[in-house]
Amino acid sequence: MPDKTASLEAIITEIRQQSDTEIESIRQAATREQVQIEQRARSEAEKIRSGIINKARQNSEQIRKRSAAQANLEIKKLNLQSHLLISAEIRRQFEKKLLELRQSPEYAQLLRELIAEGIVGLGTDNILLSAGDREQTVLNDNLQKEIETAFNSHVHLSLESKVLGEPGIILYSADKRRRFDNRLTRYAQRLFEKQQWQIMQKFSENNSKG
């Protein structure tokens, strides 16, 4: 008859061996799983880190582009402001020269040209002249006759007694429906707009020489 105690011990030993084997297998599986988890974690961390770096690079590039665009815009603004300031200063100086010329004997020649320009612009024969105080003095009968003669006496000029409140002259058709404005400020503006590019170039050349 078999020894029951020996048989029981053999079963217990077999169970322990199986348990140990199972435990070892579980432990190894857990170790492998832990390694895989750590690897996945490192991989995810690397992806996140790379994403952050790429995002930072993209942001940095966008900021750089925005900064460059902003700088270009500021340069354009400064160039425009400089151009406007220079233009305003040139025009101011030009108007100042005109006012100085207005007080000189040579002003009669300019006034003759202002009136002749207005006559051509109006395209009519009978013209009323509204003139400033200085122009009223310069525009005597002889000067009017000279201008009329230059147009083969087809033009008749009449000087209004009322003094124009600004330097220069305004020419009207007889019915006053049309006018040609040659006040000095308007004349300066028109002349400056017409020759602005040449004036700016000349101004820049003079500045570079100075």
- Write out the residue range of the structural domain in which residue 183 sits: 103-209
- Write the CATH number for 156: 3.30.2320.30
pLDDT tens per residue, range 134-146? 999 998 888 888 8
Three-state SS across the chain?
A: CCCHHHHHHHHHHHHHHHHHHHHHHHHHHHHHHHHHHHHHHHHHHHHHHHHHHHHHHHHHHHHHHHHHHHHHHHHHHHHHHHHHHHHHHHHHHHHHHHHHHHCCCCHHHHHHHHHHHHHHHHCCCEEEEEECHHHHHHCCHHHHHHHHHHCCCCCEEEECCCCCCCCEEEEEECCCCCEEEEEHHHHHHHHHHHCHHHHHHHHHHHHHHC
Q: How many domains are contained in the chain?
A: 1
Within-domain flag for 30: no
* pLDDT for 92 beyond 70: yes
Residue 128, SS3? strand
pLDDT value for 112: 92
Domain assignment present for 59: no
pLDDT tier at 191, thresholds 50, 70, 90: confident
Residue 174 belongs to some domain of the structure: yes
pLDDT of 182 > 90? The answer is yes
Q: How large is the average pLDDT for residues 40-68?
A: 68
44 in any annotated domain: no
Q: Is residue 201 part of a domain?
A: yes
- Residue 1: the pLDDT is 47
pLDDT digits 0-9 by tens, 102-124: 999 998 999 999 999 999 999 88
